[in-house]
């Protein structure tokens, strides 16, 4: 759950499948220009077709007292402004933003269109106009952002009818527009609509004419493979690259067999070369057994790969 030390009492999380997703720190945060207002930037993992939502928690540690204000919460998905919500002190604690809500002109009922992750496909050969268009589109792609502002509620207003978002057939971008970025997904909307309770609409003004956010929470969403390519999470280790102490019995046995095969190949090649003269005439017989066993270091101890493997070695 993302928090900001400068704005105590506010927490934000992205929810997928009913669970708050694991968040990863931005590995490039130190190299980026910091906004003038407090900002939290995290990375999260996404999956194709999974629906997502945003949870905002506000508790008593937040400073509500100033001018009896409310919080205007505005989500931006891939840079597109979504319908926001108002959080007041008497209705705080947890606010769940589940997608785009609208008053249907067809049914005259409030309906909800849920957000979901959609896979990006790319095309190699694209014209200049297409690349320029897709470059602008990709600028904020893969980003869930929640902006929070202080406001004063002026009046309640009537709601207007609206239309649902129409999804494009697919998220397809020119490869050149991504400029090497490990983009994997964008956001789209559910094809079906869910009936929800009526929503009120209010007119607000910023506190002290200051309409800058007091806090922004940003979540870059990527596939697991894309997170690895951007070095957000470690890449899977290649076989044999892990410390010996973390290997299973089967892996240790495999290493022992490989080492034994190497020794046997050396003996075969040297079968006709058992005697080597040193510079001073000393003779060395390579057909004799080595006096010291072949050993592999393991985090402060030594494993004898020429002897029997014990259960203690295998279980570590």
Would you say residue 234 lies in a domain? no
Q: 303 and 225, same structural domain?
A: no
With respect to residue 238, please indicate whether it lies within any of the assigned structural domains.
no
Residue pair 160/22 in contact (Cβ under 8 Å)? The answer is: no
What CA–CA distance (Å, rounded) separates 105 from 72? 26
- What does the alpha-carbon distance between residue 161 and residue 172 come to, in Å, rounded to a whole number? 31
pLDDT tens by residue, 155-188: 999 888 888 887 765 788 888 888 878 889 999 9
Residue where a domain terminates, one of 229, 262, 283: 229
Mean of per-residue pLDDT scores for the chain? 82
Q: Both 52 and 17 in a single domain?
A: yes
| pLDDT tens string 97-124 | 999 999 999 899 999 999 999 999 888 8
256 and 113 in a common domain: no
Same domain for 188 and 301, yes or no, is no
137 shares a domain with 36: yes
Give the domain range for residue 150. 2-229
Does 250 share its domain with 191?
no
CA angle 78, 110, 70 (to 5 degrees): 65
- Does 148 lie in the same domain as 93? yes
Enter the tokens of residue 197: 């309770």
Residue 154 confidence (pLDDT): 93
* Domains identified in the chain, total number: 2
Q: Which of 200, 229, 258 is the last residue of a domain?
A: 229
User: Could you say which of 174, 199, 229 is where a domain stops?
Assistant: 229
What pairs with residue 137 in β-bridges? none
Q: What is the pLDDT of residue 168?
A: 60
Tracing tokens 């980026």 back to the chain, one arrives at 32
- Does residue 90 lie in a domain region? yes
Shared domain for 123 and 224, answered yes or no, is yes
Q: How far is CA 88 from the centre of its chain?
A: 31
- 26 inside domain: yes
Q: Is 239 within a domain?
A: no
Residues paired with residue 70 on neighbouring β-strands, in sequence order = 151
Query: How many degrees, rounded to 5, is the angle at CA 201 between CA 195 and CA 206?
Result: 140
Burial 213-252 (b: 16+ CB within 10 A, else e): bbbbbbbbbbbeebbeebebeeeeeeeeeeebeebeeeeb
Q: How far apart are CA 306 and CA 184, in angstroms?
A: 48
Q: Looking at the domain assignment, is residue 237 inside a domain? A: no
Residue 49: predicted pLDDT: 93
- Residue 282 and residue 219 share a domain: no
254 — alpha (psi -120 to 50), left (phi > 0) or beta?
Answer: alpha
Give the model's pLDDT for residue 235.
Answer: 74
Q: Nearest Cα to 151, choosing from 90, 59, 218, 66?
A: 66
Q: Do 251 and 223 share a domain, yes or no?
A: no
Q: How far apart are CA 14 and CA 148, in angstroms?
A: 16
**Tokens 């003004």 sit at which residue?**
205
Q: Would you say residue 15 lies in a domain?
A: yes
Alpha helices in the chain (DSSP H): 128-138, 175-178, 224-229, 249-269, 311-315
The predicted structure's pLDDT at residue 115:
95
Residues of the chain with pLDDT under 70: 168-169, 236-251, 254, 265-316
Whose CA is closest to 185, among 13, 82, 51? 51
> Are 21 and 166 found together in one domain?
yes
50 & 195 share domain: yes
């Amino acid at each position: 759950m993302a928090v900001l030390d400068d704005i105590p009492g506010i927490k934000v999380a992205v929810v997928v499948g009913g669970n708050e997703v694991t968040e990863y720190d931005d590995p490039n945060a130190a190299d980026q220009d910091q906004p003038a207002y407090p900002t939290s930037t995290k990375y999260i993992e996404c999956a194709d077709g999974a629906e997502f939502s945003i949870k905002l928690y506000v508790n008593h540690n937040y400073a509500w007292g100033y001018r009896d204000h409310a919080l205007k919460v505005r989500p931006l998905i891939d840079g597109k402004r979504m319908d926001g919500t108002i959080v007041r002190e008497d209705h705080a604690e947890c606010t769940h933003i589940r997608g785009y809500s609208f008053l249907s002109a067809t049914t005259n009922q409030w309906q909800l269109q849920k957000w979901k992750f959609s896979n990006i496909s790319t095309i190699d050969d694209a014209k200049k106009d297409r690349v320029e268009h897709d470059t602008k589109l990709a600028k904020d792609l893969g980003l869930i952002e929640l902006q929070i502002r202080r406001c004063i509620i002026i009046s309640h207003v009537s709601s207007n009818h609206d239309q649902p978002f129409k999804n494009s057939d697919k998220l397809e971008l020119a490869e050149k527009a991504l400029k090497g970025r490990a983009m994997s997904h964008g956001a789209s909307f559910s094809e079906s609509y869910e009936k929800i309770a009526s929503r009120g609409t209010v007119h607000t003004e910023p506190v002290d004419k200051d309409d800058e956010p007091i806090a922004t929470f940003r979540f870059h969403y990527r596939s697991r493979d894309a997170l690895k390519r951007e070095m957000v999470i470690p890449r899977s280790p290649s076989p044999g690259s892990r410390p010996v102490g973390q290997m299973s019995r089967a892996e240790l046995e495999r290493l022992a067999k490989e080492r034994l095969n190497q020794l046997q190949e050396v003996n075969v090649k040297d079968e006709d070369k058992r005697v080597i003269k040193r510079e001073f005439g000393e003779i060395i017989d390579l057909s004799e057994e080595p006096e010291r066993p072949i050993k592999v270091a393991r985090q402060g101890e030594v494993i004898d790969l020429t002897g029997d493997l014990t259960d203690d070695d295998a279980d570590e």
